[in-house]
Amino acid sequence: MKPIFRSWFRTRKSRIQRRLDHTRDTATFRPVLSGRPMDYDVSHRHRAIAHGGIGAIHMLAHQLGLPQAIDQRLHLLKVHLPYHESDHVLNIAYNALCHGSGWIAQPDTK
């Protein structure tokens, strides 16, 4: 085997080992989609994005304790690097609320 290939394989193997190393302290202890306070600004121009209310829905979900309930009852991920189960579930729910078509099979309209 050529030395350059040996070097490539060694580098790739070390990258994989670092990524799979569970002893590193990189696991997040809270979901990425956190419930930070949001500010809404109203102007005289009346311009806004179509789904600006998703922030209010996200704050409501956090006030109700929905992410914590999802994380307590759903155990799919072995390591939370960096996402928790609630991040994935809420992402799908918010996508559906915003009429997204990321994972839902849409009927053929042709």
pLDDT number for residue 25: 53
Give yes or no for residue 23 having a pLDDT over 60. Answer: no
Q: What is the 3-state secondary structure (H, E, C) of 57-93?
A: HHHHHHHHCHHHHHHHHCCCCCCCCCCCHHHHHHHHH
CA angle 86, 92, 98 (to 5 degrees): 130
Each residue of 40-83: pLDDT tens digit?
A: 666 666 666 667 778 888 889 999 999 999 999 998 887 777 78
Q: Which position has the higher pLDDT, 18 or 39?
A: 18
Domains in the chain: boundaries: 75-100
